[in-house]
Chain A
């Protein structure tokens, strides 16, 4: 739990999001404590483990969000390349990284399109749900095909290649603040580990 809290603080230095995320986190914790008191067939087996997983995953998700939002793609690529990661692995990773926000927008547009053609889900007609899912996937696939084609054409035209080495406009180097943060991290982890042993 201490690790979770540290993550909560670390990922949300800007205040507003911190309050929101902390509230969600402790709500989940409280929910679990309360629910574990009740003995009810369904809750025991399905809901409790689910909430438990949520509690574990939530801070990690926040960390991932921070990762995607804050780290510039070019610096990340340069650093990984310097770590001798092969380019054929690197480029697909970067494409996925780039693609996530785009696909979210695409999904929203397709939903609008389906809704306005009156082909969306209607609770009265169960068949419409299956149909809508079908429409949805068809549109998403053909859109994605087109987008990926255009995106790779653009990338190639801008000289992205497996053969060439990239450079980076900003200086990417491990510096004093990085080492300090790294040390704090190591001390913190060691401390947690120790506490965990003692408390057991």
Chain B
């Protein structure tokens, strides 16, 4: 017997008010208890589709729609967004901007309170949620102090308490490290066991391998394929590459050292006995030694909170190490000089876009006469020449990342620092970023990269800094680096021998 329909789209189309993007001719039926993954390239319409499911369309994001869309018995246009809250639970991409209160305890009960649930029921459900989601240990903490993985857990827990049976998640793993992603996968499997219907829109597919019942692929706002679990398992890794989506099975990815050609003028970068501790006396890491030459791509891997970002900021001269020195070509170098030679690509590119158009962005702080020509050339290389007059904030995620890469080339610095450069990127954009990095290394730059994305890391690094639990950081030099071990190192969060 077929289970009841939770969602039904029939010849459904939606066009945003600006008339550019939308979804077209959607025919999709999702039944109770199904786990459906929506995937496709950036801008393919998967986020739009999730917005139709949680009621944000057409109330919050305005536009015109045609055809039939029924979610949990509610027809589109006849209910306000808030009505969906009792049936559909939403989890968003950015854990920072989806919480309304500042404490874990208050956040968990927030949706239920909004729905006006009776106090006794709520308290009962609260206890049940805490037990099911295993979050006793973080209840007392403030939202802002949680790790990204824990934040997503709280986001799921809060809608769980409201008693919804349909979950819509929009790129929930975009900001998560390996451990966080695994935590999320575990929470989702609990929900699946409870018979909940789950819809995940996602680029990174590997953690959903054992969970997904169906994978729906979108392209340019249309559904191009609707694959069952069996079909997916029979697809080779080439198939995924051809369709420009991320791999579902990470073990199929071969890790290797990229081939970097000869570099004419070599520079050396050395850090000796770097240590960092907080004012309270808590040591973050100590006695870290790094020694590399131009053309090195150094991966910083390890758990969240193990001090990777702080290390990056010390190496680029933004923070001062409590102990230790940094040399370039054997000459000791100050924080200020270090900063002048460094470019930092932040995880969230928005913080670095400071002007009103892409071209202004490229020219900010540039004084040479030929700056504009150079900028045009670099923009063309990254496929952004048509956007020269566009405001950076309206670019898509992939375009923003490419603009960051363009800015980086424009700045012409020697030391390049990246913090999670692929979070939320699709396979095509990830490949662009990876190739650019290797090209930069060939030009004699030194790159430092923090990443949790194995698919991206597998054929990128030439050396590693492994952040272990406790205070040690292991430097694995280019000579010692064995790419086969990378997966184990990343999975275990720096504990190498397990």
Contact = CB atoms under 8 A, between A and B. Distances in A.
Contacts of B103: 72-73
A119 B344 CA distance: 13
A42 to B, nearest CB: 35
Contacts of A150: 92, 94, 97-98
Contacts of A82: none
Contacts of A54: none
14 contacts: A72-B101, A101-B144, A112-B351, A117-B411, A118-B365, A138-B353, A153-B60, A153-B92, A155-B100, A158-B90, A158-B159, A166-B114, A167-B122, A169-B113
B118 interface: yes
Most buried by B among A106, A119, A159: A159
Contact of A167 (B116, B159, B348, B352): B116
A163 B112 CA distance: 15
A78 B351 contact: no
Nearest to B316: A116
Contact of A160 (B82, B119, B144, B411): B82
B190 interface: no
A178 interface: no
B82 A164 contact: yes
A152 B81 CA distance: 12
A27 B416 CA distance: 47
A157 B84 contact: yes
Interface stretch (B15-23, B133-141, B335-343, B446-454): B335-343
Contacts of B488: none
Interface string A88-116: 00000010001001100110011011111
A156 B57 CA distance: 12
A142 interface: yes
A113 B106 CA distance: 33
Contacts of A164: 82, 114-116
A174 to B, nearest CB: 17
Contacts of A138: 353-356
A165 B116 contact: yes
B123 A154 contact: no
Nearest to B125: A169
Contact of B100 (A106, A135, A136, A160): A160
Contacts of A145: 393
B80 interface: yes
A163 B84 CA distance: 14
Contacts of B353: 138-139, 142
Interface in A130-180: 134-136, 138-139, 142-143, 145-147, 150-161, 163-169, 171
B55 interface: yes
B99 A169 contact: no
Interface centre among A145, A154, A168 (most CB of B within 10 A): A154
Contacts of A112: 318, 344, 346, 351
Contacts of A136: 354
A151 B109 CA distance: 17
Nearest to B159: A158
Contacts of A157: 54-56, 81, 84-85, 90
A167 B106 contact: no
B364 interface: yes
Given A72-B103, A117-B344, A151-B98, 12 more contacts: A74-B109, A78-B113, A138-B353, A142-B350, A153-B56, A153-B60, A156-B81, A159-B115, A167-B117, A167-B122, A168-B119, A169-B126
Nearest to B394: A142
Interface string B139-165: 000001000000000000011001000
B111 interface: yes
Chain A, interface size: which category?
35 or more
A90 B420 CA distance: 38
A153 B84 CA distance: 13
Contacts of A167: 112-113, 116-119, 122
Contacts of B342: 116
B17 to A, nearest CB: 14
Interface residues of B, number: 65
Nearest to B88: A157
B302 interface: no
B339 A116 contact: yes
B241 to A, nearest CB: 32
Nearest to A137: B354
A45 B4 CA distance: 78
A74 B101 contact: yes
Nearest to B348: A109
B110 interface: yes
A159 B162 contact: yes
Contact of B119 (A135, A151, A169): A169
A114 B365 CA distance: 11
B380 interface: no
A161 to B, nearest CB: 4
Interface in A45-84: 72-74, 78
Most chain A CB within a 10 A radius of its CB, from B92, B98, B109, B110: B110
B69 to A, nearest CB: 17
A98 B82 contact: no
Contacts of B158: 158
Contact of A119 (B82, B101, B346, B354): B354
A139 B113 contact: no
B283 interface: no
A78 B144 CA distance: 23
B90 A154 contact: yes
B33 interface: no
A95 to B, nearest CB: 8
Given A74-B101, A115-B339, A164-B116, A156 B82 contact: yes
Nearest to B118: A167
Contacts of B351: 106, 109-110, 112-113, 139, 143
